[in-house]
C-alpha cells in the first residue's frame, strides 16, 4: 500500500447502498465481494422513510435491517440512507475509493466516477428480496380475504344449485 506523507498506509474504503430487506445469500455474497475490493466496507441501509419515497414496501423495519447488516463480519460500518443525493456527500465525507452496487443498477451512478471508482457487481441468480416477496404475496392478509370471499361465493353458488 502507498504511504501518505508519513500518516501510515492509505486505506481503500468501499461503500454500497441497499434496502437489505429479507436478508438472503445474495446480499451476503454482494457484501463479501464488496469488502474484497477494499480494506473497509461501509454499508448504507435505506431507511423506512426513504423506501416509502421510492414506493418500496419493506417487511423488516430499518433498525432491524441495519442491525442484521452491521452484525456481518465483512461490514465495518452501517449508516442510514435517507436520500438519492446522499451518495456524493458520503463518498466525500468518508473518503471512499469505490462505490459498489449490484448490476441491476448498471450505469445509474456513473456520474459519481469523478469522485470515486464505480463498480457494478453481478447479482446472485435465482434469489432476490423482490422475488421472495412476490412468492409470498399470495399468502398475505389481503389475498386471504379475497380467497375467502371467492370461496364463500362458490359455496353460495353450489348451495343454490342443490
Active-site residues: which are they? Answer: 54, 56
Which residue do the cell numbers 375467502 mark? 148
Task: Give the HSE-up count for residue 31: Cα atoms under 13 Å, Cβ half-sphere.
Answer: 26
Q: Give the C-alpha separation, 139 to 132, whole Å.
A: 12
Encode 71-113 in three state secondary structure: CCCCCCEEEEECCCCHHHHHHHHCCCCEEEEEHHHCCCCHHHH
Amino acid at each position: 500500500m502507498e504511504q501518505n506523507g508519513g500518516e501510515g498506509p492509505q486505506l481503500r474504503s468501499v461503500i454500497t447502498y441497499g434496502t437489505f430487506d429479507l436478508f438472503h445469500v445474495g446480499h451476503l455474497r454482494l457484501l463479501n465481494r464488496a469488502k474484497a475490493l477494499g480494506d473497509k466496507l461501509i454499508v448504507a441501509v435505506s431507511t423506512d422513510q426513504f423506501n416509502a419515497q421510492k414506493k418500496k414496501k419493506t417487511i423488516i423495519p430499518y433498525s432491524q435491517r441495519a442491525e442484521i447488516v452491521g452484525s456481518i463480519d465483512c461490514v465495518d460500518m452501517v449508516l442510514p440512507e435517507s436520500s438519492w443525493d446522499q451518495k456524493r456527500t458520503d463518498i466525500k465525507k468518508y473518503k471512499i475509493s469505490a462505490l459498489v452496487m449490484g448490476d441491476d443498477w448498471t450505469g445509474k451512478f456513473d456520474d459519481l466516477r469523478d469522485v470515486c471508482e464505480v463498480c457494478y457487481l453481478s447479482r446472485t441468480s435465482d434469489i432476490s428480496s423482490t422475488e421472495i416477496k412476490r412468492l409470498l404475496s399470495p399468502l398475505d392478509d389481503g389475498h386471504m380475504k379475497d380467497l375467502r370471499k371467492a370461496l364463500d361465493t362458490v359455496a353460495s353458488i353450489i348451495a343454490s344449485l342443490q
